Each structure stands twice: as C-alpha cells, then as structure tokens.
Chains A and B, each alone.
Chain A
Amino acid sequence: MFIYTVKRFALAGLILIVAVTAMFLMIRAVPGDPVSIMLGPRATPELKASLIAQMALDQPIWKQLLIYYGGLLRGDLGIDVFSGRSVVEIVFQQLPYTLEMITLSVVWSATLGIALGAYAAANPNTMIDRIAAAVSVSFVAAPAFVVALLALLIFAVQLQWFPAIGAGEGFWGRLNHLVLPSFAIGLSWVGYIARLVRASMLEVLGEGHIRTARAFGISERRIIMSYALRIAILPVFTVIGVGMGFLLSSAVFTEIVFARPGIGKLVIDSITTRNYPVVMGTVLVSTGLFVLSTAIADLLNALLDPRARSAK
C-alpha cells in the first residue's frame, strides 16, 4: 500500500512536470513578442523593459524554464501585470468559491445518484427502474452551462425563487446562492452515477457472497444497504476523481452564468484583460487540482477495497 501510494504520486508528479513544461513552451511558441501581447496597447518602453527583466525573457529558453520551475517550487506563479499582486495569492483567493460549489454539486448528485441507482438495481425491470433509466439518460445529456442558463431563466428571472448573481453573505446567504449553480453542475452527474451504481449493484447482487447472506436469513434491506452497496459504490469514487476536470470545466461556465466569484470567472476576466500570468496561473492550479484528485481517487479506491489493496 505504501509503495503503491508513492508510485501513484510519483506518476502524478511526472505528469504535472510534463504538463507545465508543455504549457510553458506553448506560451513561448506563440508568434510575436510575448511582452507586447501581454501588455497590449498599454505597453510603454519602461513597462516592457521591467517585464522582460522580471520574467527573464532575455535569457535562453532553457534558462527561462529553470527560472520558472524555481519559482514554482517556491510557490511563485508570477506577478499580476496590472495590480502587481502575486498570482498565487489571487488564484487561491478565488479557489474556495469554486471548490465549495463543486463539492456541493458532487455531494448532492452522488447521494441522489447512488440512491436512485441502488433502488433501481434492487427492483430491476420494474416501472420505477425504467423511469429511473430514462431520467438518467436524459440527465446525462444535459450540459452544465445550458442547464445553468435555463435554471437562471426559470428559477431566478421568471420565478425569482433564488438569487441570480453573486456568492451571497453569511452561511444561509451563501448556501442560497449555491443552489442553482450546484444544481446545474450536478444534474448530469445524477444520471451518470445512477447508471453506474445500478450496473455495478446488479453485478454485485449476482455474486456468491450475496447468496450466502440470503442463505443466512439476513434481511434484503440490510443486504442491499450494507453488503452490496459498499462494493457497488467503489467505482463512484474513481469516476468523481477522474471527473474533476469535467467538474472544473462546468464550474467555469456556471460561474460566468451566475456571475459568481471563482477561478472560472477569474480566468475569463483575465483573458478579456489579456492578463496572461493570471490565465496561466489559474490553468496550472486547476490542472494540478485535477491530477491530484485523480491520484486521490485511485488511493481511496485501494483503501476501501481490500481486494485492490492486496493486488497492488
């Protein structure tokens, strides 16, 4: 288990290094003078010169890369061209908003999806199972930003049940502002997780140990809730971990639609103002988050499934 953990994080680290290098080279490969692109029409010769010195653009490319990595190791993602604040500070100030939205989305959709899937698997081929299956497929088909727009239109603009913009103040205010965004992000996950759990539940219910539990008179409710579900939900962790990239993508749109603070809004705002260090910093942080969550999902799976633990 320990060796597996080390290996898994080593792989995650390697992927991150390659990804960072690729992105760094990509930025430098863009035709034109990066400083002019970055500063746009505001560029004055003094500003240009200070930026060149600051980003070490007068050095050879491999040296620039080393300097960049050196900065990364110190937790330095560069400096915002306009405000002069550190990019790390800006990104981590926005990150909690995105994370709370994603977390709430995952929690409600996974809970409902698991319940729906388990219920459908326990009553296969009944009317409810069929309805759940049809609903699941339709939910899967709903892209988050379209759902966000329609939810905004119906529940915020027309019915005015929930606030349309912002993140809110205080616990209840924040929660109230989270309802529609997390509904939009979570909806497709409900269907996806329900289908996943239904399939894996049906598989588990056909296994020998379930027959054993039945042969010992253990109640069907208990068999489903604590014997089968415990195994059937294992793939859900993997799927959420791997789906982190997808969740972050949905978050970008949802934050724009509901004018919420967060890294999605940050990156879009930075693109419109051509604030490249912030754009790259945000993309890097979200990539790191994605790689990390995939690794954690794998480890969690190994931790919860004794079979996987011994196999690795």
Chain B
Amino acid sequence: MSKSRSELSIILRGVAKDPLGLIGLIIVGAIVISAIFAAWIVPYDPIGMNIPDRMQGPSWSHWLGTDNLGRDTLSRVIMGGQVALKVALPAVFGAMAIGLTLGMIAGYGPRWLDNLLMLFFDTLRSFPTVMFALAVVALVGPSLQTVVLVVMATSIPTYGRVARTQTLTLRNSEFILAERAMGASMVRILGVHMLPNIIGVLGVLAAMDVPTVIALEAGLSFLGLGVKPPTPSWGALLKDGYALIRQTPWLVVGGGLPIILATLGFTFLGESLRDVVDPKLRKNR
C-alpha cells in the first residue's frame, strides 16, 4: 500500500510540474472541494423560492443573479457541481470496473469469448450515445439513476477495449510467461500482475471521460430528461435560462461556464496524467 501511495505522489508531482496539468489540478480541486462543502458555502438555499427577488440581474447580494422563482444562481451553480460529480464519479468508476473485468476476460480468456465480448463492445458502441440515452430515458423515465446507468453502459466499451489490448500485450510478455510456467493461478496472474499495469492507463482514460459524462448529464437535464427539478443541476440552469433567454440570460452563463471550466480542468488533468503515466499513449489517442 505504501508503494502505491508513493507512486501516486510521484504522479501528482509530475502533473504539477506541467503548467497545464497544474491548472487542471487546481480547477478539479476547486470543483471537488466546493462540491463536498457545498451545503456550507452556498450563500442562499439553492432550492428556496423567494418571489420578491425573482429575475434579478447580477448584483452584490446575488453575484450571478436570480431565476424566475427568485432562487440564487450562484448557490444553484455550487450545488449543481455536487450533482454533476454524483453522476460522473459512480458512472465513470462503474464503467471502468465493468470494462476492466470484461476486457481482461476478453484478453485472457478463450478466443470465442473474446470474439463474443468484442461484438458486445462494438454493438454497445454503435448506438450514438445521446440517442441511446434518449431511448432508455423514454422507456424507464428520467432520474439520476437512469442517467448514471446510461452513461455507464455507453462508456464500458472504451474501457473494455483498452483493457483487452493491454491484457493481450501483457499476456505474452516475459514476466507473465514466467509466472505461468511456475504454475500461478489465473486469478493471481490477472489480479496481482496484470491489474496494476492496466489500471494506470484506464485511470487516465477515466479522467478524460469525466467531462464527457458531466456534459451528458447536463445535456439530458437541459432537455428535461435528466435529474428532476427542483434539484439544482448545471443542465437545469441552462434549461431555465434557455426558456427565458431574453429575461434571465445570466442563467445560461451561470450554467454554461462551470461545464466548460470542468471540462477544461479534467481534460488538462487527464492529458497531463497521460504524459506522466504513459507517454506512449500520446501517439495512439
């Protein structure tokens, strides 16, 4: 455990040395911290209506103005960050875990299983993400869980294919062959020897995937098919702002900028991580 902790600090130090990586780290850190402590730092109740103050432009008391129900935009933006991470993190980690397992099975298992899983990945990938999400939402109805499930399903193939390629490469490497010759069990080979080598690459992919997921959640909420009102989400802010774009345009800015900022932060962090963890990937992606 201490070994992996020191590795993590080496990686973080490498990322911090790169200016873009540092910016990414700061943005992501700010989003995560404000999401964790959202309940304490919001200046107003993000779902509390205050009709007298409705549709106010940005001012000292409401930095980002208020919406048509008098709710403070800044508070909703901060709370929305929490919602975004609540969708993104389980979806990304869930997809990574399932993709990793299936990918390793495909790479290590018999040929027919590999072919079957590859067909599964290809099929899952062949649905345009949003169309697939819309189809599912249409069938089971909108909710936070639906969004998480849909996002997970659509990103499993990416992790699965990368894990499979890595497993196939490692499978024939000398140290694995030596382990097999010494009669190590499959579980031991996959768990002890391959997993640490694959997880780094998948971690980089996951960091790059977070913004896609955040954007998808916001998009579905914007369409009214994501998280249900009055839950504050960046997408819901955009939806409210779009509906009254002439009266409350600051809602569009308040909902749009955090999404762009989060995307920028995770992208910078992911690219920097990739350079530190595996410079070879740079060429392939």
Contact = CB atoms under 8 A, between A and B. Distances in A.
A–B contact, 8 Å CB criterion (strictly below):
yes
A207 to B, nearest CB: 14
DSSP majority for the A interface?
Answer: helix
19 contacts: A16-B126, A26-B136, A141-B263, A143-B219, A145-B238, A146-B259, A149-B242, A149-B256, A150-B252, A245-B127, A248-B128, A248-B131, A249-B129, A253-B222, A257-B242, A271-B134, A283-B131, A287-B127, A287-B131
Interface string A258-300: 0000000001101100101001101100110011001000000
Interface residues of A, number: 51
Closest 8 CB pairs of A and B: A249-B130, A143-B215, A245-B128, A141-B263, A248-B128, A141-B264, A18-B123, A146-B256
Given A18-B119, A146-B215, A149-B238, A290 B128 contact: yes
B282 to A, nearest CB: 8
Nearest to B222: A145
B104 to A, nearest CB: 22
A252 B245 contact: no
A282 B252 contact: no
Contact of B259 (A14, A143, A158, A280): A143
Interface in A137-166: 137-138, 140-143, 145-146, 149-150, 152-153, 157-158
Given A23-B135, A150-B253, A271-B134, A142 B263 contact: yes
Interface residues of B, number: 44
A137 B269 CA distance: 12
B268 interface: yes
Given A245-B127, A268-B134, A290-B126, 20 more contacts: A14-B119, A15-B122, A22-B123, A30-B139, A140-B267, A143-B215, A145-B222, A146-B215, A153-B253, A199-B282, A249-B129, A252-B131, A253-B130, A253-B223, A267-B131, A271-B134, A279-B134, A279-B135, A282-B131, A286-B131
A141 B127 contact: no
Which of B119, B128, B136: most chain A CB closer than 10 A? Answer: B128
Contacts of A47: none
Interface in B240-285: 241-242, 245-246, 249, 252-253, 256, 259-260, 263-264, 267-268, 271, 282-283
Interface string A82-96: 000000000000000
A19 interface: yes
B137 to A, nearest CB: 7
B140 interface: yes
Contact of B129 (A143, A150, A246): A246
Contacts of B129: 245-246, 249
B44 interface: no
B151 to A, nearest CB: 12
B123 A15 contact: yes
Interface of A: 11, 14-16, 18-19, 22-23, 26-27, 30, 137-138, 140-143, 145-146, 149-150, 152-153, 157-158, 199, 203, 244-246, 248-249, 252-253, 256-257, 267-268, 270-271, 274, 276, 279-280, 282-283, 286-287, 290-291, 294
Nearest to B120: A18
B238 A248 contact: no
Contacts of B140: 30
B141 to A, nearest CB: 10
A7 to B, nearest CB: 14
Nearest to A285: B131
Contact of A15 (B119, B132, B225): B119
Contacts of A141: 211, 260, 263-264, 267
B218 interface: yes
A199 B128 contact: no
A152 B245 contact: yes
A11 B126 CA distance: 12
A11 B119 CA distance: 9
B245 A157 contact: yes
